[in-house]
Amino acid sequence: MHNTVALILACACVTYLTRIGGHVILSRFGEIHHRAKAALSAVPTAILTALVAPSIFTNGSAEALAILVAGLVALRASLMMSVAAGLATVVVLRALLA
């Protein structure tokens, strides 16, 4: 139990230091180019896509349909709404198809 809590805290610290480190490094450059800002703002979506996309091919049809739903919702709504829609879809489809 203590090892688990220590591991979670260590991971949280490393994650925080990584995130703050990027801000510290970028702040030394002053104003960054608008293209660099656009690229940096696309990173969370790119990482989420890289984590989720392989499940289209490795998991069942429920996951593939949920990813499709999340993608369609993302065209009109926020990232949080698209994740929620995808999650709800996969939960419902797994219950119906199982």
Does the residue 2 lie in any domain?
Answer: yes
Helices 79-97 & 34-52 angle (0-180, nearest 10): 10
Interval 72-91 mean pLDDT: 91
Domain count, the chain: 2
User: Within this chain, do residues 26 and 73 fall inside the same structural domain, yes or no?
Assistant: no
What is the tens place of the pLDDT at every residue in 11-69? 999 989 988 887 788 778 778 888 888 887 888 778 877 877 787 778 778 888 988 89
What domain range is 91 assigned to?
A: 42-98
pTM for the structure as a whole:
0.53
Q: Which long-range contacts (CB under 8 A, 24 or more apart) does 68-71 make?
A: none
Q: What's the pLDDT score for residue 87?
A: 92
pLDDT, mean of residues 1-17: 89
